[in-house]
Amino acid sequence: MNETPTSPARSPMWLLLLVGIPIAVAAVLRVLGTHNDIWLDEIISLQAANDVKSPWQIFSGIHSDNNHYLNTLYLYFVRRQSYGPVYRYLSVLFGVGLIPAGYWLMARQSRVEAAILAGLLACSYPLIHFSSEARGYSGALLGSVLAYAALTRWLEEKGGLRQSLWMGLTYGLALVLAVLSHLTACLIWFPLACGSFLVLMGRPGRLKSVLWWIAINLPPAIVLGVLYFFDLRHLELLGGPPMTLAHGLGRLLALALGWPAKDSMTVMIVLAPLAGLTVWQLGTLRKSGDASWILLAMIFVTPLACMLTLQPAFFTLRYFLVTIPFVYVLGAMLLARLFLAPRGRAVLAVVLALFVAGQAYLYAEFLRVGRGQFTAGLQYIIAHTPSGPLRMESNQDFRSIMELSYYAPRVLGNTELLYVPQQKQGAIPADWYIYHEEGYDPPGPPELHLPQQPTWYRVAYFGASELSGQVWTIYSHQPAP
């Protein structure tokens, strides 16, 4: 797959185009994605950053699964900013950095594979979504890809001791970045550690190899141990709506591929041939002596093992987001074969066009509804309230209190807001009812019949994107005209 020395892809101008264009596309798409309302989990993170007295308390005093350490640390320093997108700029930086990291990952194979991977990473809707919100997934993605790229070069042993030291250090530090960004990065670190250990056990000089392996995995292990001692053993889970691992993995893969259907089962139409191609490509890598086959195999087996063995109290599909870049790694390898095959470039163009079309459809919907339309929802309520205070209640006290406490001072101005908690609903009259749902749920029912209250009629719906966000269906005692 490697190009010849005279390949134009090795010229500085071609290299600039192959890397620069995907980076520019990624930057534009992600920056545009920051210009919408921040949603519940971002508000919780911002509140945590506001509550701590020092940066150290971020690592030792919050004890919440919504505390993504580096993101919360960043929010601590920019918390006084009134310009909402600023809260998301660290994620944007990591998200744009993912593109050259992906190019570097595949450059050891070929420039064609590297360019394809860079394009897939730049245009992927799930990656755009999570690299344009104030949470830690974007840093976990970047660190995981850098760690994989460095580890594959470390295992090659072609650059001598100096390169081995640099690649080992890069691997360890990249995993520190990933773990401090979001603990789901362990879903990549553990397969990489196990896979590289198996590779080294098949080589001579096992004792020396094991010592090196311990050394490069020591930095993230120390960080995880410190986090456990000061924070993780005291962790409190916030939870959310139930979702099975099988459904979550199916939806995540569908979104990564740009599959248009909403249910998780129809993705099986493309999953079966993709699974066959995956096994075939891993077998090809194995026959060529490329140790990366076992790393990829371990990464892909991990979600399946979790699906078969774990029964978590709460699960959401974004917990396995860190595996998506490696799905694209395999896709880039397969698509590059089309590029080099006779008449394969036409097929490649069709496949990439379908991918971009699917991602563009998802991205356009994301730009339309964002992660929730809380500002627009409150503006609607204000416009349809004749006078006096806004009296409202909802089906989710915690979510409503968090969201209204953030947006009410920014939207309502001098208008008074009275929120009626669930235990007092019916005893204290309210004029508006907010029905909370997830981004993948349809609008609430046309009517709500609650104890000791007049009928609530659905009058407005403010949607949200599927991956993260909150839907508001608004009800009033007066039917919509």
pLDDT digit string, tens, across residues 62-100: 999 899 999 999 999 999 887 889 999 999 999 999 999
Contact 432, 475 (CB under 8 A): yes
Residue pair 22/122 in contact (Cβ under 8 Å)? The answer is: yes
User: What 3-state class would DSSP assign to 457?
Assistant: strand
CA 153 to the chain's CA centroid: 26
Main-chain phi, psi angles of 176, to 5 degrees: -60, -45
Residues 175-230 have pLDDT tens digits of: 999 999 999 999 999 999 999 999 999 888 788 889 999 999 999 999 999 999 99
- What is the percent of the chain where pLDDT is above 90? 70
Assess whether pLDDT exceeds 60 at residue 115. Answer: yes
> What mean pLDDT, rounded, does the chain reach?
90
> pLDDT by residue (tens digit) across 368-410?
999 999 999 999 999 999 888 899 999 999 999 999 999 999 9
Please give the average per-residue pLDDT across 324-341, as a whole number: 93
C-alpha–C-alpha distance, residues 8 and 237, integer Å: 53
Give the helix/strand (H/E) hosting 100.
Answer: helix 89-107
Give the span between the Cα atoms of 244 and 264, in whole angstroms: 11
**Residue 250, pLDDT score:** 83
Q: Amino acid identity of 291?
A: A
- As given in the structure block, the two tokens for residue 436 are 């909370």
Q: Is 390 helix (H, G, I), strand (E, B) or coil?
A: strand
**How far apart (Å, rounded) are the C-alpha atoms in residues 479 and 481?**
6
* Three-state secondary structure of 149-164: HHHHHHHHCCCHHHHH
